[in-house]
Structure 1
Amino acid sequence: MDSQAISLVRSSFKSIVAEEGGPERLARTFYSLLFARSPETREFFPAAMDVQRDRLFTAIAYVVERLDETDEILEYLAQLGRDHRKYGVTDEHYQAVGNSMIEAFELFGGAEMWTDEVDSAWRNALAVISAAMMDAANAEDGPPAWSATVIETRTAIRGVAIVRLQLDQPMDYRPGQYVSVQVGARPRMWRYLSPANPPDGSGIIEFHIRQVTGGWVSPAMVTQTTVGDIWVIGSPIGGLGIPENTKDLLMIASGTGVAPLRAQILELIRRGNTRKVHLFYSGAHPCDLYDLPHLWALAERHPWLTIVPVSEDDTNPWWHTETEPLSPIGMPKRMTGKVGKVVTSFGNWAGCDIQVVGNESVVNSTKFRLRAVGIDAATVRSDPTY
């Protein structure tokens, strides 16, 4: 796409975002049109559409923001196309989605915003998006999804479970990526989780899952999962991972966001890494740093790895009565405060490859802090928040 078309797509999308209730209204309109025009597509989605509508808008925003980053966005779209094979999506469905999206934008924007130029720009953008996803899906000869059997489940802290599964066949994913997951208790309700371990040929995959208050799926994953349960897992997605350069790594994790960074550290150990790696591991309370003993053990054996624990509060909630583990001799002690502020108090980290993983608030505030000390935003990597 040329720069003018990209500019028109972005400006019209920003107009929708600026409208009160715009994202939700647009998503509702789109899905209403899609299900009316192609009723069979309703079977791809859960009965409750709230999460799906949010996810749609997040994905559109992510793509629109990166339309001029050709290689990166085409790879992301190819990953989405491979992942969508689990639904049984065909080329005709992509055409139906594109047509419904255009109609939804036109109805939402009205004649004043939706000019012929804007219409043409969006049609070109959606053609590129659809083509990238369809080409990748049609070229893939691997399974559309993996079946996985739960072989272990345990509680890390209240509201956080660690679940290990055995895949029915090995999955080739990059440490740092995430996958869509469906559990038997919540059919058609896919959730995105990051493996906490790198692939090693065994077919074993580990997830760290936090129960979201009021959530539809995570409570079932955390409290109802038992050994022998069958989960379905989609194709790997995401741009995080060990960079091909030799830069030192700055990793910043919040809560279960440590999982994809942990997987990369384990992979670096397997490769015999020598570059410096700093992991700032944060949570609201000290107990949220549930994987700290394991990370400390890794750091003790590998001098290139530094673990800095951070919590926003200095005390634990009333329900957590276990004693806080003592930091090993020579390891940084836990610091108190917002993780972005703590990270930048160590320096400006110029020249490092930087990854930030966690909830949207932590990711955004940390990026803001890094930019404030002169870090180029292009060097700070994070994936969409689902």
Structure 2
Amino acid sequence: MDSRTVALIRTTFKAVAAEEGGSEKLARSFYAILFTDYPQVRDFFPAAMDAQRDRLLKAIVYALDRLEEPNKLLPFLAQLGRDHRKYGVQAEHYLAVATSLKTAVQVFAGTEMWTDEVDRAWDEGLKIIADTMIGAAEKETTPHVWTGTVIERREVLRDLTIVRLQLDQPMEYAAGQYVSVQIPSRPRMWRYLSPAVPADTDGEIEFHVRGVLGGWVSSAIVGQTAVGDQWLLGSPLGGLGVPRNIKRKMLMIGCGTGIAPLRAQLMAMAQRRANPKVHLFVGGHNPCDLYDLETLSDLAVANRWLTVTPVTEHDENPWWHVEPEGPHAPMPVLEPRITGQIGKVVASFGAWADRDVQIAGSPSMVQTTKFRLMAAGTLAKNIRHDPLF
């Protein structure tokens, strides 16, 4: 796709989205057109559409920002195509989505902006996206979905639960990737979770889940998950990971359950003969949010290349937290805990010019930390994180 085509697509979309409430109106219009003109696709979507609308817009923006970077965009689209097999999506469904999206943008752009050249540009862009996803799905030989049976549920905090599942067959994924999951009580509401352990040949997988206020799926997982429940899991997604031949040192920054993909990578690295130096900052609001320090301490004891620095915004735990009884094992290899906002704390160390950086956590935490690091001199090209949707 040439730069002129990319510019026409971006300009049209941004002109529509820039209007007051434009993004939300566009999403509502898209789904109205899709469900009216292609009613057969409605069954692929959940009854509650708010989260779905938000996710669609973020995915569109993510793709548009990378139209001139096919080496990044096409592998991501291929992953999405493989993942979308879990819905039973066929080639005609991609055509329905593309046609409806183009129609919605055209309606909001107006006849003055929507020229024949713009029309052709959108056709070309949407065709590349659809063809990439369809092609990847058709070539894939792994299961459309995996079934996982809950074999352990452990409540770590009142709003944080660790869930272990036994898959019906092993799943190959790179440590640091994430998967979509569907739980029995929330049909068609797929949510992304990062495995907290590397891929296991016996098919066990572990997730760390924090209940989000108002969250349909996360709250149900934390409050209702029981041993014996059966989940569905889609194909692995994401580009985080540490290649075996990496030479540069690493900086990892994780908050809350965002530590899961970083933890999985550290466990995978611990099985290698040699690794670069890694400095991990693990953060939370309160000390109790650093729920996995014992595991990280064990990793640091066994691996001299790993340094772990805890960071919390407050020194005290909330009133409702009760420390477990019994002796606590010392964690001598951890750096002293620092009080402060994690992005500000990490940026205060400097530009980390000799490091490749990974950030994992909530979208707001990732964005804030990334901006603080860039302000401190860290190059944007050295910072990686998963798409924020």
Identify the TM-score tier after normalising by the shorter chain.
Answer: over 0.9
Distance 2:333 2:105 in 1: 58
1:127-160 Cα distance to aligned partner (Å, 9 max, x none): 1000100000011121100000000011111201
Are residues 1:16 and 2:7 paired? no
Residue 384 of structure 1 is aligned with which of 380, 384, 387?
387
Aligned-residue RMSD, C-alpha: 1.5
TM-score using structure 1 length: 0.97
1:13 Cα shift?
2.2
Q: Is the 8 A contact 2:246 2:276 kept in 1?
A: no
Runs of 5+ consecutive residues of structure 1 not aligned to the other structure: none
State the match for 1:280 in structure 2. 281
Are residues 1:141 and 2:141 paired? yes
Distance 1:16 1:297 in 2: 52
1:293 Cα shift?
1.4
The aligned runs of 1:1-386 (5 Å cut-off) are 1-243=1-243, 244-322=245-323, 328-386=331-389
1:327 Cα shift?
6.2
Q: Is the 8 A contact 1:156 1:162 kept in 2?
A: yes
Q: Is the 8 A contact 2:310 2:334 kept in 1?
A: no
What secondary structure sits across from 2:231 in the alignment? Answer: strand
1:269-320 Cα distance to aligned partner (Å, 9 max, x none): 1123331111110111111111111111111111111111111122211111
Relative to 1, partners in 2 of residues 1:349 and 1:323: Cα closer, same or farther, differing over 3 Å? Answer: farther
Runs of 5+ consecutive residues of structure 2 not aligned to the other structure: none
What secondary structure sits across from 1:84 in the alignment? Answer: helix
Distance 1:227 1:330 in 2: 35
Q: Is the 8 A contact 1:327 1:333 kept in 2?
A: no
What secondary structure sits across from 2:216 in the alignment? Answer: coil
What secondary structure sits across from 1:217 in the alignment? Answer: helix
- Which is worse superposed, 130-139 or 19-28? 19-28
1:352 Cα shift?
1.3
What secondary structure sits across from 2:104 in the alignment? Answer: helix
Displaced runs of 4+ in structure 1, greater than 3 A? 323-327
1:76-99 Cα distance to aligned partner (Å, 9 max, x none): 000000000011111111111111
1:385 Cα shift?
2.1
- Which is worse superposed, 350-359 or 110-119? 110-119
- Which is worse superposed, 371-380 or 157-166? 371-380
1:117 Cα shift?
2.5
Distance 1:339 1:75 in 2: 31
What amino acid sits opposite 1:160 in the alignment? L
Q: Is the 8 A contact 1:242 1:264 kept in 2?
A: yes
Q: Is the 8 A contact 2:24 2:53 kept in 1?
A: yes
1:160-219 Cα distance to aligned partner (Å, 9 max, x none): 100000010111111111111000111000000000000131100100001011111111
1:56 Cα shift?
0.5
Q: Is the 8 A contact 2:350 2:377 kept in 1?
A: no
1:16-63 Cα distance to aligned partner (Å, 9 max, x none): 332211111111111111111111110001101001001101111111
What secondary structure sits across from 2:270 in the alignment? Answer: helix
1:323 Cα shift?
7.4
Distance 2:104 2:25 in 1: 9
Distance 2:285 2:196 in 1: 20
